[in-house]
């Protein structure tokens, strides 16, 4: 019996082995499932899990880059970045509603924020799982220290660069400004925002299971590039001060001034009034941030006459010495009568420009014709953008020739029916100042990397508009505008100057006709005349009281030019007023000698004509020589000009209403008519000059 039981036990499997195998099978299956899950998580779901882990363990902050500097032409700082403190909160660290209320209350009290609104923002951020919320950015040092001293839960601090303009409002419309997020919102800051901004960096903070930071590392930001402008800080300051004083003096709505180097096209100053401080942009109305120098369209009036005069001379249709009948100040074009500000008879072309005759400008425009006139307008740059490196520039208003009316040539020749910007007008006068070549105006001189390596230098477009001879002829004609024409208040102390005044009526928006009370007064000029170093335009919008360009804008040109020309190293080319005063005093000291010479002169003229008519003396206003002309019952008798200078001859003949045809330079050696001959107003006098050996 025992033997049979032993044999049965050998043939029947042990139950414990079966159980062991069962458990082993379960373990193998479990391990297989785990392995498959691990493979899935490591391969298929890897990216999602890594991102989730980073969100839980790693906190990343973007670090703002330092914006590049803005410098003037002499590397003087116009804009830079400074470090400030900003505060943010990690809502995950605010564990209870009490924490949220406490943080909101304390922060709102220090920074004068709306507590209720701040609580709402914090609760929303907490509920949405956000890890970052700005509380305040770019705080003052005092505010930041007060917040830091409160030791609030979840509140953290970081440094951020802030744009700073050390000169306040200086060149504000050129520089522009930067918004709270660090992006340029105007001027050069906006146009070159990508280059100036640089590349942002990142700060990574590793956190433990309790949320505490235990390690951090940073990818540094890259600073932006430096922009070197053509602006001269000193010239800009003087232009702004003169402009602000003019606006206050004339009670004008606004004003613009531009200083341009005609040879290089570089803008040395661009000023608008009113202006603003880019450090505190919110303190002004948006209108004050508008750049009127390139956004304001106005009818240029008489300053535009350089186009019709240049076109006529360039095409050989007129010469400066030619005479033109101004028809006593009125001309009718297609049923429309246009008048001069004063009745003029026959004038030379040069005199017509100096006296700003509308009739003469219209007659020259008619000679040139509509298509050619339009061609020269576009040649001078009107009707298209200059390409200046600033936002918002307008091309102005210039209709195609096909849309001109029969009377349009009469209007356009005198600066009506066309809209220009001050920048376009300055560039047009730059053509005449630069011997007929237009150089595109520009503001950026160079761009450098943060290490100082130059990556860009300006190379402005140049194109010929008129011949050098035409440009020089216009320069001499425009000089007469300041000597004897409508811009005597633009004459400079120590420097010759040339330019043109403009007085334009504005369109009344209600009646759609020219206003009788609203005007735009302007003056555009350059100095010195023979080798112009600067072109300056001054535009005054809606001055109260005096409104003519010669009365309102020309004095501002003089003030700016007299201050900046010495600063630019330009040598005087005429006598200073103090020297003139000394000459005048010397003339008075020698008055008795001059009187004796004058008596001899009178006697010689009397003998030449063999008459006993009364004589009229004409004294040189500077205390120099005296020229006598003898009156006749019908007109006047030709004085003896032999040995006289060009200026003396010009004055003597002007006093008698005579027109001078001069040849050569120096002193008179020959004249026609002869001394003592009866002459009438408007008669041409031929005079030959020569220099003594």
Instruction: Write out the catalytic residue numbers.
Output: 302
Distance of CA 658 to the CA centre of its chain: 44
Could you give the dihedral angle defined by the CA atoms of residues 47, 52, 57 and 60, in that order, rounded to the nearest 10 degrees?
Answer: 80
Q: Among 566, 306, 270, which Cα is nearest to 441's?
A: 270
356 and 522 Cβ atoms separated by less than 8 Å: no
Give the start-end residues of each E strand in 323-464: 323-325, 330-333, 336-339, 346-348, 437-439, 444-448, 454-457, 462-464
Q: What angle do CA 323, 327, 329 make, to 5 degrees?
A: 110
Q: Which residue has the tokens 């608008």?
A: 272
CA distances (Å), 667 to each of 114, 197, 648, 649, 690, in order? 85, 65, 10, 9, 6
Provide the residue count of the chain: 693
**What does R_g of the chain's alpha carbons equal in angstroms?**
40
Q: Among 254, 258, 253, which Cα is nearest to 239's?
A: 258
SS3 580: helix
DSSP β-ladder status, 659-663 and 684-690:
parallel
Task: List CB contacts of 427: < 8 A, sequence separation 6 or more.
Answer: 260, 265, 380, 381, 386, 438, 440, 441
For residues 340-376, b (16+ Cβ closer than 10 Å) or e, as one string?
Answer: beeebeebbbbbbbbbbbbbbbbbbbbbbebebbbeb
């Amino acid at each position: 019996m025992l033997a049979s039981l032993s044999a049965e036990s050998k043939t029947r499997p042990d139950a414990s082995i079966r159980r062991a195998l069962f458990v082993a099978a379960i373990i193998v299956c479990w391990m297989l499932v785990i392995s498959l899950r691990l493979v899935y998580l490591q391969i298929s779901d890897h990216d999602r899990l890594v991102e989730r882990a980073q969100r839980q363990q790693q906190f990343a902050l973007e670090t703002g880059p330092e914006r590049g500097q803005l410098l003037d032409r002499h590397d003087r700082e116009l804009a830079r970045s400074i470090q400030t403190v900003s505060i943010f909160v990690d809502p995950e660290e605010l564990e209870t509603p009490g924490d949220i209320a406490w943080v909101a209350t304390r922060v709102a009290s220090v920074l004068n924020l709306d507590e209720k609104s701040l609580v709402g923002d914090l609760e929303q951020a907490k509920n949405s799982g956000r890890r970052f919320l700005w509380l305040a950015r770019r705080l003052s040092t005092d505010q930041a220290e007060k917040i830091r001293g409160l030791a609030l839960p979840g509140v953290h601090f970081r440094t951020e660069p802030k744009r700073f303009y050390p000169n306040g409002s200086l060149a504000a419309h050129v520089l522009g400004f930067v918004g709270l997020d660090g992006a340029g919102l105007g001027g050069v800051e906006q146009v070159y925002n990508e280059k100036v901004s640089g590349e942002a960096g990142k700060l990574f903070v590793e956190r433990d299971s309790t949320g505490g930071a235990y390690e951090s590392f940073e990818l540094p930001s890259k600073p932006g590039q430096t922009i070197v402008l053509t602006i001269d800080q000193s010239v800009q300051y003087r232009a702004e001060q003169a402009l602000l004083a003019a606006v206050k003096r004339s009670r004008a709505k606004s004003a613009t001034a531009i200083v341009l180097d005609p040879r290089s096209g570089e803008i040395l100053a661009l000023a608008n009034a009113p202006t603003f401080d880019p450090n505190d942009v919110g303190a002004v109305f948006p209108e004050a941030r508008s750049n009127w120098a390139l956004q304001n369209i106005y009818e240029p009036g008489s300053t535009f006459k350089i186009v019709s005069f240049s076109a006529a001379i360039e095409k050989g249709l007129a010469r400066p010495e030619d005479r033109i009948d101004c028809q006593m100040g009125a001309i009718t074009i297609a049923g429309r009568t246009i008048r001069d500000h004063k009745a003029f008879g026959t004038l030379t072309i040069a005199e017509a420009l100096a006296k700003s005759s509308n009739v003469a400008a219209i007659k020259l425009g008619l000679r040139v014709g509509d298509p050619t006139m339009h061609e020269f307008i576009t040649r001078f740059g009107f009707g298209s953008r200059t390409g200046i490196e600033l936002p918002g520039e307008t091309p102005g208003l210039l209709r195609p020739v096909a849309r001109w009316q029969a009377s349009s040539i009469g209007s356009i020749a005198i600066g009506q029916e066309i809209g220009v910007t001050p920048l376009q007008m300055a560039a047009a006068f730059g053509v005449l100042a630069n011997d007929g070549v237009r150089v595109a105006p520009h503001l950026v001189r160079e761009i450098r990397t943060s290490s100082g390596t130059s990556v860009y230098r300006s190379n402005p477009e140049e194109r010929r508009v008129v011949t050098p001879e035409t440009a020089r002829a216009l320069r001499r004609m425009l000089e007469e505008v300041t000597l004897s024409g409508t811009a005597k208040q633009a004459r400079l102390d120590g420097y010759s100057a040339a330019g043109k005044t403009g007085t334009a009526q504005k369109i009344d928006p209600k009646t759609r006709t020219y206003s009788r009370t609203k005007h735009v007064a302007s003056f555009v000029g350059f100095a010195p005349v023979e080798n112009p170093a600067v072109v300056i335009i001054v535009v005054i919008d809606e001055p109260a009281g005096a409104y003519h360009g010669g009365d309102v804008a020309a004095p501002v040109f003089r003030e700016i030019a007299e201050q900046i020309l010495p600063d630019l190293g330009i040598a005087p080319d005429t006598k200073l007023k103090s020297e003139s005063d000394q000459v005048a005093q010397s003339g008075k000291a020698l008055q008795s000698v001059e009187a004796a010479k004058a008596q001899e002169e009178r006697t010689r003229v009397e003998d030449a004509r063999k008459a006993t008519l009364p004589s009229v003396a004409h004294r040189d206003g500077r205390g120099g020589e005296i020229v006598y002309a003898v009156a006749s019952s019908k007109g006047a008798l030709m004085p003896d000009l032999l040995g006289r200078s060009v200026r003396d001859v010009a004055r003597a003949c002007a006093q008698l209403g005579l027109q001078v045809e001069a040849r050569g330079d120096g002193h008179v050696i020959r004249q026609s008519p002869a001394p003592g001959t009866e002459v009438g107003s408007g008669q041409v006098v031929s005079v030959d000059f020569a220099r003594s050996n």
